[in-house]
Amino acid sequence: MQKCLKEIIKQVTALEQQKEEILSDEAQNCIAKYGSNEEIPKSEYDFVATRNCIKDIDAKTRRLRHELHHANATVQIPEFGMTIGECIILMAQLGKEKALLTRMARREKKERRQPSFGNTVEWVVLNYDKDECRKRLKEVGDEITSIQIAIDRINLTHMVDVEAF
């Protein structure tokens, strides 16, 4: 059966949610509380069935994640000449640069500071062109957006053979 990468991502998310629900139910039902004058309450909880269900979900998730990781390592994004994985790493690098540039762009060109000790006044001035910093910040933001769009496009159009569950 063929699925696009986005479908696989959605299926992994659904499996993880299903597993969380089972684990939550298990946490509630794996023990029984009762008073000393009460009978032990009956429970529908089945340890073996629950473990088997979790094992099955984990196996499906593992296979699907493997397909995603393989695609990330091998599928090229033509606009960037890199794999999906390389583009994801580039986005993280650009995200850090964007955070730094944002802080730099917000600084005042000239700032007066008075230290807590003494009566001297300090001046802090920027050693960079704030307009150049803002220009680079916009370029980085635009590049991040372009990469995100390219990854989204590949995730929706690249088909992978996955075995049916």
Domain boundary assignment for the chain: 2-161
Place of tokens 């690249």: 158
Q: Is the dihedral angle over the CA atoms 12, 18, 21, 26 positive or is it negative?
A: negative
- Give how far Cα 165 sits from Cα of 2, 64, 160, Å: 12, 11, 15
pTM: predicted TM-score of the whole model, two decimal places: 0.81
> Has residue 119 got a pLDDT over 80?
no
Quote the percentage of the chain above a pLDDT of 90.
80
Of residues 159 and 122, the one with the higher pLDDT is 159
Angle of helix 130-157 relative to helix 5-29, nearest 10 degrees? Answer: 90
DSSP state of 78: T
Residue 39: pLDDT band with limits 50, 70, 90: confident
For 18, the enclosing helix (H) or strand (E) is helix 5-29
pLDDT digits (tens, 9 = 90+) for 71-108: 999 999 999 999 999 999 999 999 999 999 999 999 99
pLDDT at residue 155, rounded to an integer: 97
